[in-house]
Amino acid sequence: MAKAKPQRTTSIDNTIEQLKTEQEIVLKNSTEIVLVEISKIKELTLKSDILMHNRISYSKSKLLELAENIANLAKEDTGILGTGLLNPIMLRNNNGILERIHGENRIRAIKLNGATTVPAIILENVSDELARFMRSSENLNREDLNVYDETLSILEHIQLACNFESIEKVKIFINKVKNFKAGKTTLNDIEKKLLIQVSNVFEKIGRFDIITFVDRLSVLKLNPLIKQALVDDLISYTQAKVIKSKLNSNDEIIKILEMLKHKKISANDLRKYIDNLKNSSIPKEIDTSINLLNSIIKQSKSITKQKYLKLNNDDKLFVDDKFREIQKIYNQIENKINK
């Protein structure tokens, strides 16, 4: 087993408190709000040139509602600089490039109204670590955070606080801890110290411990259709898990999601509904196939040697050609059945 990479010795408390202090200083020295051209705003880019993607999804209905509210305030020439926005977005100046720390949904909403500029606070001397802390902290404090984005935000917060190389490394470690608790693996001394650090982060977040959070990781593997329904508040997390475990094809998922738009049922009832739907469809499919097979057998018996010999040469050539096609298809079917 490869030896785990040594972690930073700074305690989580010191790491987070230091970042909070840095944030307070930066915000205190950057209070000017200016209009910035939206086209000049870029995504946060880490030193490794990896984009720090926006972690917050927004339902279409919420986005349209936000855009309408902004438009109404703008008509009254209210909001920041008369734009209709009540809060500016936050950007950092990274060597002349303006990168968004947070405010993606406000940008999307104001663009729907035809705006080309957005009110922003531009921060100077913001490190990658501080930028990530500012974004993950804001995300975790949102009241309307959906399950998918909450899970990503928690993973990112742990990555930052415990100095993991990536979110993927956090997921791997959490799954290893699950196996460790189940007696399926062991942890070395460094990993045991890391377990204490990660446990402390969960304690500060206050909604999970490592074991209860493991279940949440499944949300990251949701079919895009299920994920969007979750983001749009059409289904609950427990319903999403049921659909994920029971259905594979997009057509089946779409049908169930359409049903849930008009019918509110519990996750347990949804499970029973899908099971009943599947069980009722299997006999019908089998009956249809059996009937088709019987029909083919019956038709084949009607083709006799006497009838064939009475055909003229052209008709015999036509029939011979079709027999060869049938023979080829029959061989393919036989190979599947006898597989």
Local confidence band at 316 (pLDDT 50, 70, 90 cut-offs): confident
Sign of the C-alpha dihedral computed for residues 101, 102, 104 and 109 taken in this order = negative
Q: Which residues contact 270 (CB under 8 A, 6 or more apart)?
A: 239, 242, 243, 256, 260
105-129: average pLDDT: 90
What pLDDT score does 16 carry? 58
* Mean pLDDT, the chain, whole residue set: 82
What pLDDT score does 47 carry? 62
The span from the CA of 150 to the CA of 332, in Å, is 50
60-78: average pLDDT: 89
Local confidence band at 6 (pLDDT 50, 70, 90 cut-offs): very low
Q: What DSSP element (H or E) covers 118?
A: strand 117-123
Q: Which amino acid is at 40?
A: K
Of 5-19, 241-255, 301-315, the range with the highest mean pLDDT is 241-255
The domain locations on the chain are 305-339
- 258: how many CB neighbours lie within 10 A of its CB? 11
Q: Is the pLDDT of residue 196 over 50?
A: yes
35-56: average pLDDT: 71
Local confidence band at 289 (pLDDT 50, 70, 90 cut-offs): low
82 — alpha (psi -120 to 50), left (phi > 0) or beta?
left
- 117: how many CB neighbours lie within 10 A of its CB? 15
102-117: average pLDDT: 92
The span from the CA of 8 to the CA of 15, in Å, is 10
pTM: 0.60
Q: Provide, rounded to the nearest whole percent, the portion of the chain with pLDDT above 70.
A: 84
Q: Which amino acid is at 78?
A: T
Contacts 24+ apart (CB under 8 A), 59-63: 59/231, 59/232, 59/233, 60/232, 61/232, 62/144, 63/105, 63/108, 63/109, 63/112
The span from the CA of 133 to the CA of 16, in Å, is 8
**Between 280 and 43, residue with greater pLDDT:** 43
- Tell me the three-class secondary structure of 192-241, residue by residue: HHHHHHHHHHHHHHCCCCHHHHHHHHHHHHCCHHHHHHHHCCCCCHHHHH
Radius of gyration of the chain (CA): 30
Q: Is the pLDDT of residue 2 over 50?
A: no
Local confidence band at 15 (pLDDT 50, 70, 90 cut-offs): low
What pLDDT score does 281 carry? 54
- 130: how many CB neighbours lie within 10 A of its CB? 21
pLDDT digit string, tens, across residues 148-170: 888 888 888 888 778 888 888 99
Structure tokens belonging to residue 83: 């734009």
141-149: average pLDDT: 74
Least confident segment among 51-60, 70-79, 227-236: 51-60
Of 104-108, 146-150, 206-210, the range with the highest mean pLDDT is 104-108
Tally DSSP H helices, then E strands, for the chain: 14, 5
Q: Is the pLDDT of residue 175 over 50?
A: yes
Q: Could you tell me if 72 and 93 are in contact, meaning their C-beta atoms sit under 8 angstroms apart? A: no
99-127: average pLDDT: 91
The span from the CA of 7 to the CA of 169, in Å, is 13
Residue in this structure with the two tokens 């009838």, named with its chain if needed: 307
Q: Which residues contact 275 (CB under 8 A, 6 or more apart)?
A: 246
Q: Could you tell me if 90 and 102 are in contact, meaning their C-beta atoms sit under 8 angstroms apart? A: yes
**Between 145 and 227, residue with greater pLDDT:** 227
Nearest to 67 by CA among 118, 102, 143, 32: 118
Local confidence band at 181 (pLDDT 50, 70, 90 cut-offs): very high
What pLDDT score does 22 carry? 73
296-300: average pLDDT: 78
113-137: average pLDDT: 86
DSSP secondary structure code for residue 36 in this structure: E
